[in-house]
Amino acid sequence: MKYLMNYFSLPFMRNEISFCFYAEKKSRMGKYHVIHTKPCELLPEKPSRIKMGFFENFEEVEKAGRKQFGEVRFCSFCCDFS
């Protein structure tokens, strides 16, 4: 599992680090919603985003995002997998 160790939104739950994720309310090109972490510089203002909650890894947030929005993609700025 991949963790977001470069970002700090760190409530400690069950002795593991969790991160706060948000999704853009408006889908891009009518196809997918973009998911961001809290400190992302590209995160939309409050009226244009939905707080998804705290997750420990990308797999959990992707599953929750697909359940809520259908198609989702991660922000390439704040959710870089490399």
- pLDDT tens digit string along 16-41? 667 899 999 999 999 999 999 988 99
**Which DSSP letter does residue 40 get?**
-
**Residue 49 falls inside a structural domain:** yes
Output the pTM of the full model.
0.77
In the chain, the number of structural domains is 1
Distance CA 11, CA 13 (A): 6
Q: pLDDT value at position 56?
A: 84
**Residue 28 falls inside a structural domain:** yes
**Residue 79 falls inside a structural domain:** no
Per-residue pLDDT band for 11 (boundaries 50, 70, 90) equals very low
Distance CA 70, CA 26 (A): 13
Distance CA 25, CA 34 (A): 9
**Residue 48 falls inside a structural domain:** yes
Domain residue limits at 43: 17-74
**Residue 43 falls inside a structural domain:** yes
Give mean pLDDT, residues 62-72: 96
In the predicted model, is pLDDT for residue 74 greater than 90? yes
**Residue 4 falls inside a structural domain:** no
